[in-house]
A and B are shown apart, each in its own frame.
Chain A
Amino acid sequence: MYKSITISKGNGGWGGPLTIMPTDTCNKIVSVTGGGIHPVAAKIAEMTGCQAIDGFVTSVPDHEMLVAVVDCGGTARCGVYPKKKVFTVNLTPVGKVGPLAQFITENLYVSAVTEKTLAYAAEDAVLTSKEGTAVETKKTSSEPKTKAQARAELAAMNAGKKKNIITRLGIGVGGVVNKFYQAGRDTIDMVIKSILPFMAFVSMIIGIIKVSGIGTLIATTISPLASTLPGMLVISVVCSLPFISPVIGPGAVIAQVVGTLLGVEIGLGHIPVQYALPALFAINAQVGGDFVPVGLSLGEAEPETIELGVPAVLYSRIITGPLSVVIAYLFSFGMY
């Protein structure tokens, strides 16, 4: 017996509330959270009468997914499922951000969800429509469409006349300038939404580390480890262990923070400068370990491929992680 529930946003969250009802074909709650089925996913499944599935172990076709539960910090995953028109529950308080922000809409996405923000739907509650976005996008696209129509009419009118070289040149330049302008807009978007927030958070951490004396602790413990080849290999092996890599992967946040800390130590001369290159690989052996199922489904892989593909990538890292450090070490000779 399926039941409809309402999922509301939690503290600092965005989107929703989503009122959802499983059907016979669309009845899987997929937990793409790395490390088993998250309690929130389990709770949603229990309340609705659906089946909870670990997205890392088993892959589910998009049309069977009622809800995808993710713990994305705002890089990619939070947008991938809304793009596929799957209801998305994000456990972290992240709004409409990331490269796929345009697909994150209030009727497909809700964030900062905890077990407390789940409730059975009221009897007269209306189910959230996924198509709302489609209608909305149609609405917004209707304006450019009329513009396009106008342009088409203009083109039709001009069709009789042969365009002279100046007109053609003008159109060509216009197109190029437009692309440059769009590139600028994308860049500023990226700076404001991703780069500046990261700088703010890491510079705060670095400031505290420098002043509070934790810096000296790092200089005496981690720096010696990161200034020898065996030490680097240990770091890469730890990062690539299959039960660790999916956990420390998301958004490359940990790699970025560690990279910044090592950068400070290199700047202070505690770590030899030529170790910069192998360090880049040592701290990043886990790259994308959290994202395998999502990345594979973006590449239109079959569910069976994803099931075997996840462990294949994770196991391969145990070999290629340390190997990449060795290669980078060899390439660092004569760098500075």
Chain B
Amino acid sequence: MELIAELANGFMELFKAGADTFAGWVMGIIPLIVVLMTAVSAVIKLIGEERVQRLAQKATTNIITRYTILPILSVLFLGNPMCYSFGRFVEEKHKPAFYDATVSFLHPVTGLFPHANGGELFVYMGIAAGVTALGFPLGSLAVRYFLVGIIVIFIRGFVTEKIYASMKAREQ
């Protein structure tokens, strides 16, 4: 009998650690996320998608803005997964590169603007939780993630554009 009770206790113990983690997240992460996401997405709604479209159109002509400004605008204003629809502004031969740049920005954006990809927060949040546990502030990590994200999406856009162009040339 005692053995069974021991086993039951051990079994419950297995999940108590999980329950503590869950409670910590719900109390520590959700309130801030809720308020932050509401504020940012309200501002985005007030500005409106239409007003951004003209800027988006302009950003397509130049190779640097095409893979930095354009993906950032689309991710901030449309979020995952509708951000890819800004692909309609770029030329056919640039579409794969635009996709690569946009999708690669979906996680670097979450440190500062979680509303853009609320369903996949834990790539950043998971690692950020460890930084918080050590008592460091998150601002530095979030800003650097965002900035490196911009550099990386430009490189991805550039490299993918060239690879696509050479594949296309070889095919013809």
CB distance from A286 to the nearest CB of B (A): 10
Q: Is A309 within 8 A of B136, CB to CB? A: no
The answer to whether B54 has its CB under 8 Å from any CB of chain A is no
Q: Is A328 within 8 A of B95, CB to CB? A: no
Q: Give the contact stretch, choosing among A104-112, A143-151, A162-170, A186-194.
A: A186-194
CB distance from B47 to the nearest CB of A (A): 10
Place the interface of chain A in its size category. 35 or more
The answer to whether B58 has its CB under 8 Å from any CB of chain A is no
Q: Is B130 within 8 A of A276, CB to CB? A: yes
Measured between alpha carbons, how far is A265 from B127 in the docked complex, in Å?
9
Q: Is B118 within 8 A of A281, CB to CB? A: no
Measured between alpha carbons, how far is A331 from B143 in the docked complex, in Å?
11
Measured between alpha carbons, how far is A208 from B132 in the docked complex, in Å?
22
Residues A267 and B130 in contact in the complex (CB < 8 Å), given A190-B118, A195-B33: yes
Q: Is B160 within 8 A of A312, CB to CB? A: yes
Query: A271 — which chain B residues lie within 8 A by C-beta?
Result: 130
List B1-40 residues whose CB lies under 8 Å from chain A: 13-22, 25-26, 29-30, 33-34, 37-39
The answer to whether A127 has its CB under 8 Å from any CB of chain B is no
Measured between alpha carbons, how far is A198 from B81 in the docked complex, in Å?
18
CB distance from B24 to the nearest CB of A (A): 8
CB distance from A49 to the nearest CB of B (A): 32
Residue of B nearest to A328 (CB): B148
Main SS of the interface on chain A? helix
Q: Is A312 within 8 A of B164, CB to CB? A: yes
Residues A212 and B14 in contact in the complex (CB < 8 Å), given A100-B81, A183-B38, A264-B130: yes
Residue of B nearest to A300 (CB): B88
Measured between alpha carbons, how far is A266 from B37 in the docked complex, in Å?
26
Partner of A305, one of B82, B96, B155, B163: B96
Q: Is A251 within 8 A of B151, CB to CB? A: no
Measured between alpha carbons, how far is A310 from B163 in the docked complex, in Å?
11
The answer to whether A141 has its CB under 8 Å from any CB of chain B is no
Query: A191 — which chain B residues lie within 8 A by C-beta?
Result: 30, 33-34, 118
**Binary contact track B111-148/A, C-beta < 8 Å → 1, others 0:** 00001001111111111111111101000110011011
Measured between alpha carbons, how far is A196 from B27 in the docked complex, in Å?
12
Measured between alpha carbons, how far is A283 from B100 in the docked complex, in Å?
16
Q: Is A323 within 8 A of B120, CB to CB? A: no
The answer to whether A1 has its CB under 8 Å from any CB of chain B is no
Measured between alpha carbons, how far is A287 from B133 in the docked complex, in Å?
26
The answer to whether A320 has its CB under 8 Å from any CB of chain B is yes
Q: Is B99 within 8 A of A299, CB to CB? A: yes
Q: Is B131 within 8 A of A273, CB to CB? A: yes
List A254-273 residues whose CB lies under 8 Å from chain B: 255-269, 271, 273
Q: Is A300 within 8 A of B87, CB to CB? A: yes
The answer to whether A121 has its CB under 8 Å from any CB of chain B is no
Where the two chains meet, the residues of B that have a C-beta atom closer than 8 Å to any C-beta of A are 13-22, 25-26, 29-30, 33-34, 37-39, 41-42, 45-46, 79-82, 84-88, 90, 92-93, 95-100, 102-104, 106-108, 115, 118-134, 136, 140-141, 144-145, 147-148, 151-152, 155-156, 159-160, 163-164, 167-168, 171
A-B pairs with beta carbons under 8 Å apart, 26 shown: A75-B80, A182-B45, A183-B37, A183-B45, A184-B42, A187-B33, A187-B38, A191-B118, A196-B26, A204-B18, A205-B18, A208-B17, A256-B123, A266-B130, A267-B132, A276-B130, A276-B141, A277-B141, A277-B144, A288-B104, A305-B96, A312-B96, A312-B163, A320-B155, A324-B155, A327-B151
Not counting A203-B19, A212-B14, A336-B140, a sample of 12 additional A-B residue pairs whose C-beta atoms are within 8 angstroms of each other reads: A75-B80, A195-B121, A204-B18, A207-B14, A208-B14, A208-B15, A261-B126, A267-B131, A273-B131, A277-B144, A295-B84, A305-B93
